[in-house]
Structures are given as C-alpha cells and as structure tokens.
Structure 1
Amino acid sequence: MVSASRAHSFNMAAAQYAANRPSYPPSVLDAVEEVGGRPLRGARVADIGAGTGIATALLRERGAEVIAVEPGEGMAAEFRRALPNVPIVRGDGNALPLATSSCDLLTYAQSWHWTDTKRSVPEALRVLRPGGVLALWWNTGCADPPWALAQADRVAQACGVDPADRRRPDDIQADRLAALGELPFTRRQLTWSRTVPVDTHLANVTSWSAFLVLGKDKTAEFLARERTVLCELFPDGMVEETYMVDLVVARRP
C-alpha cells in the first residue's frame, strides 16, 4: 500500500515533475542501440510508465515509432500537453494494453521498480517480438561531493528514512535483476551532470515520491531550511547535479 501510494503521488505533481526532473544523456540511447543490435530509427517502441514523456521525447527524436503506456491521469495529461502527436494509452507494466509480439523494444525509464516483476517480466516477454529488447534505466544520484552526501542525510531525516540506507526506490535492487531469469542482459553505468538554479534543484528533489507523500507543510519546512543551506554553498545560485544512469538491456530469445 505504501508503494502504491508513492507511485500514484506523482499525479498531483505532474507539472512540477515535467518542469524540473532531469532528462537522460544521449549515451543511454546509444548504449540501447549498441547492445540491442539495431537502430532506434523505425523501431516499434513502447515506453512503459512514460510519465510526462521525458524518455518518450528522446526516443522520438531518434526516429522510433513510439507508443506510451502510463497509469496516472495527471501524468498522462501532462504527457499529452508536451507530446500531443504521440499515442498514449492508460495501463501499467503488470498488464500491458499491447498486442502480443508487437514491439521491437520496451523501455522503462525510471518506472520498472513500480512493477510486480512476477507479472511484468512475463508481460514484457509477451509483447516483445522474438529478438526484441527490454531496456530499464534509472537516474541515480552520485552522492560523491560532500555537499550531496550531507544533503542526502538531511533528506533522509526530513522523510523519516534511516540515513544509513540512502537507496532511493529508483535504485536497481538485486531481486529486480534476478527476476529477469535466464534472459541475458548487459548492464551499463553512465555518468553525466547538469547545472541548474537552486530552485530547480529543490523542485526536482521535492518531486521525489518520498516528499510527495510527506505533506505540504513538512515539505515546505524542508525547502526553507535547504534553500538557506544551498544558497550559502552556491552563492552564484547554480547547483551541479551529478547522476549515474543505471542501465540494463535484456534481449528476448
């Protein structure tokens, strides 16, 4: 129930999510093409848990024929505003509203961890054509700079999470990979960064599900304290966010 609550929490902050969440570097789709053994141009792709369309837009730019699958009403509405010419259907990875053997590639950008892998793995295999590719990826924070480590502790404290366990729900868990069974897969970890204003950084952080279920008052208290800290650390008002994209690419036999 907690996981479901967090998964659906994005609908009430879809505009915030779309405006402030990071995208993904070109190297992610380069790796999908390389490992998958075919170009994205002309490929039949379904972007599952598409959200506001961050990954969908990148796939379209590569020339893929994309259909989006998204369970949330708020996120789907934001998607339609951003990508009015891309088809989107309501559904989730546990019961894909897609025909059997209809796709060359299924992508789960920041969304695989919200699925029940006992259901989502067979569903992915059903929808993929023979030789089709399943690509899962996450932007995970590279908490190497001291300021980022200190912020992780403050976030954990604000959200009531044990600071010793900083793994966010978008980190790949070992059982998520084990659920792929006998499917051969390749894993890549790709580092990139973006520099954004302090307020964009804070809006990104508080678009995480842990904050969305925390409540407005407690989130506002965190924002006020954190803005003071960051403005002292970054007097020019700009923050460099460093990410590691954790990418897993598996091929259907």
Structure 2
Amino acid sequence: MAGREEMSTSFGAAAGAYESGRPEYPAEAVEWMLEPVASHERRLRVADVGAGTGKLTRAVAATGAEVVAIDPDAVMLATLRDAVPGVPTFLGTAEALPLPDAGLDAIVFGQAWHWVEPVAGSREVGRALRSGGVLGLIWNVRDEAQGWVRRLTKIMHGSSAEEMLSAGDPPIAAPFDRIESREWRWTRPMTREALLAMARSRSYIITAAPEDRAAIETGLARLFDELGLRGDASIDLPYVTRAYRALRP
C-alpha cells in the first residue's frame, strides 16, 4: 500500500477522472462556511487550498468572492485553470501557504484537510487570515445507508477522509479552538462511466499495484452489472456534505 505522502500527491495522475467523477459542493453549504465574514460592502478575499481541479473554487467564486486556488500539484492546477478561467493559481500546501500575513477573510479546504498536519496547518492558516476570518472545511461523503453504496465502498476501500470523519470532528489547533458543523443530504445521478471515474480518482486506486487495481475494477464491473448500469442508465448516489467552520480570534 502506498504511503500517506504519496497518496496525498497522487491526484494529478487522474486529474480528468477527478474532474468528471467527483461531485460539486452544494451552494448552501459553501455559503454557510462563509457566512460569518459575509459582507455587503466589499468582495470577500478567499483562498481555496488543496483546490485540485476547482470543485470548491468555482462554488466560492459563484458567491461573488475574490478567490485564489492553491495546490501542491501543477497538473491539477492546470485542469483547474481550464475549468475555472481567470482564477489565480499557486503551488503550495496548507503548511506553507504562498500568502501574506492577515490578508484573507476565509481559507477553505474541500476534500483536503485530512491530508494536512493539523497543528502546522492551523498555525499557517491563522497567520494568513485576518482577525475574525474563517477556516472552512468541507467534504462530500457517500451516504452508506443503502446496501449497494456500502458494497461500493468495500470494493474501492475506505479513504483517509472517511476514517477521520468517522472519529468525530476534524482536528484543528491554535489559533482555532472551536469548530461548528452542519450537514446536507442530497443525491447525484451517476452512470456507470461516472461511477468508474469517481472510483479511479481515489488515491487508494491511483497508487494501487496493477493487480490490485485490476481486482477493484473487476469488483466494480460486477456490482454495476447487478445494478443494471449500462449505457446511459443511471442510479442516484446519496451524499452527505459535511461542512465545518472555525473563526480566527
């Protein structure tokens, strides 16, 4: 099995699958994260860290905020620039942000904080946020109340995010000390090809040995055949969006 660092920087190898297979974020969840700093007087200044192909970036931009995207993978950022034209992009990580001190209203992470060392990441985010600014964390997690979704996860294997969230709230550190959370439940219609793209965008599968990847693909094909997913046929994949926010003192 690949190490944590290799998995965290593996996504560029599957940037296309990530863009097509991963879901968008509900607008109301993104608005909730930014609510404490919402202003009618000026545009918010927001950084999306671990931005990937821009799934969260475009949702933040849709609120009217001025947003920059930061990611350690140049391939992912190239895909983001095609998907969200005009957004400035920078190579960087949560622990070493290419941002000035106290310059932002919010720093957000979509499907990314579980890769961050929370003490160093919290300290660096706190440095770049103004007083009263928001650290926003958000994940789209499959709702495994349905049996076929549990089977899907078993075939694909669990993720670092799922393991972390099953233990409770995501860990944060100084200067942040209190975190709020909310959930939204929704479904996304998925064809066989979309489900395959979603699976192939997961770090466990990207970094798996060829024989392990082949076994996973065989298991997925068997499940999709049983579900009758052929051609344009689709099935509703249930999601829970979990959003968190913490304010910088």
Tell me the TM-score normalised to structure 1 length: 0.88
Q: What's the % identity of the aligned pairs?
A: 30
Q: Which stretches in structure 2 are left out of the alignment for 5+ residues?
A: none
- Residues 84-93 or 183-192, more deviating: 183-192
- Tell me what 2:38 maps to: 38
In structure 2, relative to structure 1, the CA distance for the partners of 1:131 and 1:78 (3 Å cut) is same
- Tell me what 2:198 maps to: 204
- Residues 133-142 or 175-184, more deviating: 175-184
Q: How far is the alpha carbon of 1:21 from its aligned partner?
A: 0.9
Q: Is the 8 A contact 1:201 1:239 kept in 2?
A: no
1:179 aligns with 2:173: yes
- Tell me what 1:15 maps to: 16
* Distance across 2 between alignment mates of 1:225 and 1:112: 29
Deviations 1:25-45 (A, max 9, x none): 1221232243x2525971000
- Residues 24-33 or 69-78, more deviating: 24-33
Counting only pairs closer than 5 Å after superposition, residues 37-76 of structure 1 correspond to structure 2 as 37-39=37-39, 42-76=43-77
- Tell me what 1:4 maps to: 5
Q: How far is the alpha carbon of 1:174 from its aligned partner?
A: 4.5
Q: What secondary structure sits across from 1:170 in the alignment? A: helix
* Distance across 2 between alignment mates of 1:107 and 1:49: 9
- Tell me what 2:242 maps to: 246
Compute the RMSD of aligned alpha carbons.
2.1
- Tell me what 1:169 maps to: 160
Q: Is the 8 A contact 2:69 2:89 kept in 1?
A: yes
Q: How far is the alpha carbon of 1:152 from its aligned partner?
A: 2.3
1:139 aligns with 2:140: yes
Return the letter of the residue paired with 2:20: A
- Residues 239-248 or 102-111, more deviating: 239-248
Q: Is the 8 A contact 1:190 1:244 kept in 2?
A: yes
Q: Is the 8 A contact 1:101 1:130 kept in 2?
A: yes
* Distance across 1 between alignment mates of 2:199 and 2:246: 30
* Distance across 2 between alignment mates of 1:235 and 1:72: 33
Q: Is the 8 A contact 2:107 2:129 kept in 1?
A: yes
Q: What secondary structure sits across from 2:171 in the alignment? A: helix
Runs of 4+ with deviation above 4 angstroms: none
- Residues 17-26 or 175-184, more deviating: 175-184
* Distance across 1 between alignment mates of 2:229 and 2:21: 21
Deviations 1:64-108 (A, max 9, x none): 000111111211121122223110011000011100000001001
1:189 aligns with 2:183: yes
In structure 2, relative to structure 1, the CA distance for the partners of 1:199 and 1:39 (3 Å cut) is farther
Q: Is the 8 A contact 2:37 2:105 kept in 1?
A: no
Q: Which stretches in structure 1 are left out of the alignment for 5+ residues?
A: 157-165
